[in-house]
Amino acid sequence: MSLNLEVPPSNGCEKVILSEEQHMKICEVRRLLGPLSGTSSIYCSDLSILRYLRARNWNVKKATKMLKATLKWRSEYKPEEIQWNSKTVKGQIRYLVYCMENAILNLPSNQESMIWLVDFKDFDMSNISLKATKETAHILQEHYPERLGLAILYNAPKFFEPFWMVAKPFLETKTANKVKFVYSDDVNSKRIIEDLFDMDQLESAFGGNNNVGFNITKYAEMMKEDDKQMRCSWSAVNPNSLASEKAQSSGLVGSQITNRSESSENERTDGDIHITRKADGN
């Protein structure tokens, strides 16, 4: 028998309709996890547990093992404490984690996944790092399951293709299938972007019509507000009022947010949040 149950939002996110069996699996994961406190208890919302169950095909033991590993990683890595400006190779990975945390924080309430736009402008052989690629794949797949909707690699150079064939086995099949190559001189591949984004909002670097320049001062102000919101979201303070206040003061509509650093281009805009990241991490 299947009984539809409505799971109320436990962390400001959307309501989800679950079958009785799925609800029981969430309860079983909670039982196996045992008592949680601090940021671990905040992280393990019903929706979060659902993502781990989906990532492990609803196998409770595998999902619990995966989630326990994430809780251990988060307690050591402390992603919620990472600031937005990192420059070294190690810092690039940490900045990637920060971008994930920040994008998740700003996702619309009815959305769990995001689209990545990877900019290959000025990318060269020196930017290729198999070690960094393996670490990135591990972190994203093991600690951010079901968060990637699509990854668009824009104007990747020809020499990147052999590297992609080497790196692809590090990805799970369903993750690798979410990676799409788009080229500005290929009409067919450009349709992938055109079907996903409002071209009037998308910046011209990705074939869009938005030619508005980047203002580092405004961006820095926005990052300070985001850092404040991040701290509140992992405490007893409800960040919703801060997010609303930030949107009003910044003249933003909904979740239209631009996110870049001085040394990297990382952008979130429109209702279908996407992260724009230069392929070299800079």
Provide the domain count of the chain: 2
β pairing state of 148-154 and 114-119: parallel
Residue range(s) defining the domain that contains residue 254: 89-278
Q: What is the CATH number of the domain that holds 165?
A: 3.40.525
β pairing state of 16-18 and 274-278: unpaired
Of the residues 19, 53, 77, the one at which a domain ends:
77
pLDDT per residue over 154-183, tens digit each? 999 999 999 999 999 999 999 999 999 999
Q: List all residues 6 or more positions away from 155 whose beta carbon is below 8 Å from its beta carbon.
A: 119, 120, 121, 182, 183, 184
The answer to whether residue 60 scores a pLDDT higher than 80 is yes
Residue 133 lies in a domain: yes
- CA-CA-CA-CA torsion sign (98, 90, 175, 67): negative
CA separation for the pair 150, 39 (Å, rounded):
28
Of the pLDDT bands very low, low, confident and very high (cuts 50, 70, 90), residue 84 is confident
Are 100 and 73 in a shared domain?
no
Are 151 and 130 in a shared domain?
yes
pTM of the model: 0.76
The answer to whether residue 17 scores a pLDDT higher than 70 is yes
Are 101 and 216 in a shared domain?
yes
Of the residues 18, 48, 77, the one at which a domain ends:
77
Q: List all residues 6 or more positions away from 165 whose beta carbon is below 8 Å from its beta carbon.
A: none
Q: Among 52-66, 83-97, 150-164, 210-224, whose mean pLDDT is lowest?
A: 83-97
**Which run of H or E residues covers position 274?**
strand 274-278
The answer to whether residue 14 scores a pLDDT higher than 70 is no
Of the residues 21, 55, 77, the one at which a domain ends:
77
Are 217 and 258 in a shared domain?
yes
pLDDT per residue over 119-135, tens digit each? 898 898 988 888 989 99
Are 94 and 231 in a shared domain?
yes
Stronger pLDDT, 280 or 147, i.e. the higher one: 147
Are 138 and 219 in a shared domain?
yes
Cβ atoms of 114 and 140 closer than 8 Å: no
Are 123 and 69 in a shared domain?
no
SS3 content of the chain, % helix, strand, coil (to 5): 50, 10, 40
Residue 84 lies in a domain: no
Are 127 and 223 in a shared domain?
yes
**Which run of H or E residues covers position 169?**
none
Closest by Cα among 34, 4, 36 to 22: 4
Query: Could you please report the per-residue DSSP string of 67-134?
Result: HHHHHHHHHHH-GGG--S---SHHHHHHHHHHHHHHHHHTS-TT---EEEEEE-TT--GGG--HHHHH
> Strand, coil or helix: what is 279?
coil
Are 112 and 249 in a shared domain?
yes
Percent of the chain residues past pLDDT 90, beyond the cut: 49
Percent of the chain residues past pLDDT 70, beyond the cut: 75
Burial label for 43, CB within 10 Å (0-12, 13-18, 19+), is: middle
Are 259 and 146 in a shared domain?
yes
The answer to whether residue 264 scores a pLDDT higher than 60 is no
Are 150 and 203 in a shared domain?
yes
Residue 82 lies in a domain: no
Q: What is the CATH number of the domain that holds 70?
A: 1.10.8.20
Are 172 and 225 in a shared domain?
yes
